[in-house]
Amino acid sequence: MDRPTLTDAERAKTLRETILHHDRLYYVEARPAISDVEYDRLWSELEQLERAHPELITPDSPTQRVSGDPISGFEKVRHDPPMRSLDKTYERGELLQFDAFLRDKLPDAVWDYTVEPKVDGLSLSLLYRDGVLVRAATRGNGEVGDDITANVKTIRSIPLRIPTEATLVEVRGEIYMTREGFVELNHREEEAGREPFANPRNAAAGSIKLLDPREVAQRPLDAVLYGVGALSGVSFTTHTAMLRALAEWGFKTPPWQRLCMDINQVLLAIDELGSRRHTFPFEIDGAVIKVNQRTLYASLGSTAHAPRFARAYKYAPEIAETRLNGITIQVGRTGVLTPVAELEPVQLAGSVISRATLHNADMIEAKDFRIGDSVLISKHGDVIPAVDAVVMEKRPPEATPYVFPNVCPVCGEPAVKLNDEVATRCVNPDCPAQRVGRLELFVSRNALDISAIGGRMAEALVQAGLVIRPLDLFSLQSEALATFKLISEDGSERRFGKKAEDVAQALAHAAELPLHRWITALGIPGIGETAARTLAALFPSFSAMKETTLIEKIIAFYEATDRKLERTDDRDLFTGEIIARAEALAPYGVIQRDDPSRNIRDRYLLTVKPEMARSLYRFITSPYAEDLFTRLAELHIDPKPELPQANGSALAGQSFVITGTLTQPREHFEALIRQQGGSVQNSVSKKTTYLLIGENPGGSKYTKAQALGTPLLTEAAFMEMIHGASQPSSSVVAAPQTPPPPKKPAAPSKPKAPAPTEYIQETLF
């Protein structure tokens, strides 16, 4: 291939710039200057040039908007500064308080306010280095989000390059799906036999998380930008000046803004915006009020949740009237019977509503919903449709009160209310609906991620009696699965066929998944994904959960600290006991020693909450779990926890020797050290960084370490080290001169028997 001549390179550059310029005119400013044919000609010339000379391709070339292969997941990125939310209010009075609060905080300052729409989409962060878009991320939890660069590049209104001298610019805003695009997309989805999206926000969220950028490019996504994060080489004194700069750089900024001199003008502006709320191409769920002077932001600061310079004002939800055509009952994984309102389809705040949950029998009774009634519906949180009230004047004379079923509509067994619950439950553990529910959770994405068994397949497998308990999946023969016939709603039959292979693969993969995914998959009451992660950190493996001592200790710890508050007389004695227990838990990484000025309970904040511990205890001591442990052992599946802070290099270059008895087998610690980049030796030498020391340490290793001045590390200090700090705080490293601290494990008092096993629990497992 001939080398690109200078003119090729120049030509490519000109073409890139010309196309990006026209993209901006078309997608951002909606005033195209050339015809489609002319645009296409520019485009194909650039493509040809780049094909002949791939070295001319730059990351900001318009041809690179849709590039790259599907990925298997998103990388995590850390936000600095964090992406905070907004404090919200529904009351005008609270805005006056906001103003008063600011004047109190800033007695000498003068400022004005801006009002702009609160776009109901997904928070977005765009990072430009030397003017080139290098990273796009979701907000995630505010501290850590997902890297969605490839997907975001497909949004044509987002500039790939911005004309700035600044070395670093982080622009923040919102990705949304246009109302129009949403309706079209849902139409397509329905035709393809898929579930339509509930609203534009969900559709945007679902689209931006697609793993194939080519698919994302087909989705009608757009973005509006209204803020900045990290900046280097540029700064702004006011919000309005910042928005102007964003617009100059080629971003879509809020299409409506008002600058207000005082809070009264703000109130007028939010009224004006309220009357226009449906005129925007995106859904809005409120107004955002910001102090215009950015120079005041630093002294105002922020809470963990939101900055103090802004407030969101949410508009009252909109209401529609329609007819309640019927009430159907859904039975979930835990046997709960959920009544669903079947409504005459009606347009409400941007989408068509035909169903809404009625929550439970009490709610139907309290609001006296009767079939045939005219009802008022709204969207709660502007998203979830809810039936609020009956229009009594319009009640048909023949309408009778709704009688909530006392049998499960799926299995026909009794459905009852337990204890003080509002829910009515089917208490038949063999209920097919519950089996399906459990299987669905088991195969769901955050659990074992066996997508081929989604929805209809789960139901069919249970119906056919092939899967009773989720683990039955593992003993299903591929053949049985391949020839399994799935009957669709229209009555046509189709074989599971090749998908059986996908299942086999997913199962093999599931066996290797970390412990928290398995704990999530079990659907233990009150233990979702987050709790599962916390709990998984306590055990070296799934089978190790059979050993209940640690959980018992945690339960006992909470009971002790609870009692403490009432007993002042023997408080000191009691406090000592709590400390001993807490220290005994420290090696497991479940204790966070907090600010010593706080009270003892707070100081030893456990990451494992009492309800979690109790629920896990009930589960692992249930007959269901016993069966589970046995079957997993037969299948040779024993999931292990993912290592804390798996950066893999916390101990890089460090060499450890282990001596004495630790709270877990030595292999466990060896694995931890290796996975964090450290090494383990059998004897102490000059090269040894630390001697990890347990109870009854071996004499020779200890003496040698003393002689060489090798630092000693208790198990607690070690755990602290790999959990975060790369250096243990000096207080927890035993000085080499002192003999190993006598570590007497606190004798745990027998925990009170957990509350009498609840009925639900038994029926569940």
Between 168 and 197, how does the x/- string for binding to ligand AMP read (CB under 6 A)? ------x-----------------------
Segment interacting with ligand AMP (CB under 6 A) among 114-122, 391-399, 558-566, 749-757 = 114-122
Q: Is 118 a catalytic residue?
A: yes
- Indicate whether 116 belongs to the interface with ligand AMP (CB under 6 A): yes
For residue 428, the minimal CB distance to Zn ion (Å) is 5
Exposure b/e, 430-462, CB count within 10 A at least 16 = b = ebbbbbbbbbbbbbbeebbebebbeeebbbbbb
Q: Which residue is nearest to ligand AMP (CB)?
A: 123
| Separation in Å, CA 438 to CA 120, 187, 411, 524 | 33, 31, 16, 10
Q: Tell me whether residue 132 or residue 306 sits nearer to ligand AMP (CB atom).
A: 306
- Indicate whether 411 belongs to the interface with Zn ion (CB under 5 A): yes
Q: Tell me whether residue 289 or residue 353 sits nearer to ligand AMP (CB atom).
A: 289
Tell which positions 421-460 bind Zn ion, by CB under 5 A. Answer: 426, 428, 431
Which partner, Zn ion, ligand AMP, none, binds residue 226 by CB below 5 to 8 Å per kind?
ligand AMP
- Indicate whether 123 belongs to the interface with ligand AMP (CB under 6 A): yes
Which partner, ligand AMP, Zn ion, none, binds residue 86 by CB below 5 to 8 Å per kind?
ligand AMP
Which partner, ligand AMP, Zn ion, none, binds residue 288 by CB below 5 to 8 Å per kind?
ligand AMP
Q: Tell me whether residue 123 or residue 676 sits nearer to ligand AMP (CB atom).
A: 123
CA distance 127 to 83: 13
For residue 122, the minimal CB distance to ligand AMP (Å) is 7
Among 288, 458, 460, 716, binds ligand AMP (CB under 6 A): 288
Between 58 and 87, how does the x/- string for binding to ligand AMP read (CB under 6 A)? ---------------------------xx-
Comparing C-alpha atoms, which of 192, 190, 185 is closest to residue 207? 185
Among 24, 65, 118, 239, binds ligand AMP (CB under 6 A): 118
Which partner, Zn ion, ligand AMP, none, binds residue 688 by CB below 5 to 8 Å per kind?
none
For residue 227, the minimal CB distance to ligand AMP (Å) is 6
Could you identify the residue written with the tokens 């709704």? Answer: 402
CB 405 within 8 A of CB 329: yes
CB 745 within 8 A of CB 580: no
Whole-number CA gyration radius for the chain: 31
Among 15, 119, 137, 554, binds ligand AMP (CB under 6 A): 119
Which partner, ligand AMP, Zn ion, none, binds residue 85 by CB below 5 to 8 Å per kind?
ligand AMP
- Please give the biggest Cα pair distance in the chain: 96
Q: Which of 76, 88, 105, 118 is catalytic?
A: 118
List CB contacts of 744: < 8 A, sequence separation 6 or more.
none
| Separation in Å, CA 281 to CA 86, 179, 253 | 22, 6, 13
Which partner, Zn ion, ligand AMP, none, binds residue 556 by CB below 5 to 8 Å per kind?
none
Segment interacting with ligand AMP (CB under 6 A) among 118-126, 199-207, 229-237, 450-458 = 118-126
| Separation in Å, CA 735 to CA 661, 695, 721, 739 | 19, 16, 16, 8
Among 128, 182, 226, 574, binds ligand AMP (CB under 6 A): 226
* Enclosing H/E stretch for 56: none
User: To 10 degrees, what angle do helices 36-52 and 6-23 make?
Assistant: 140
Exposure b/e, 280-303, CB count within 10 A at least 16 = b = bebbbbbbbbbbbbbebbeebebe
CB 145 within 8 A of CB 125: yes
Reduced DSSP (H G I as helix, E B as strand, rest coil) percent helix, strand, coil of the chain, to 5: 40, 20, 40
- What amino acid positions are annotated as catalytic residues? 118
**Binding region for ligand AMP (CB under 6 A):** 85-86, 116, 118-119, 123, 174, 226-227, 254, 288, 312
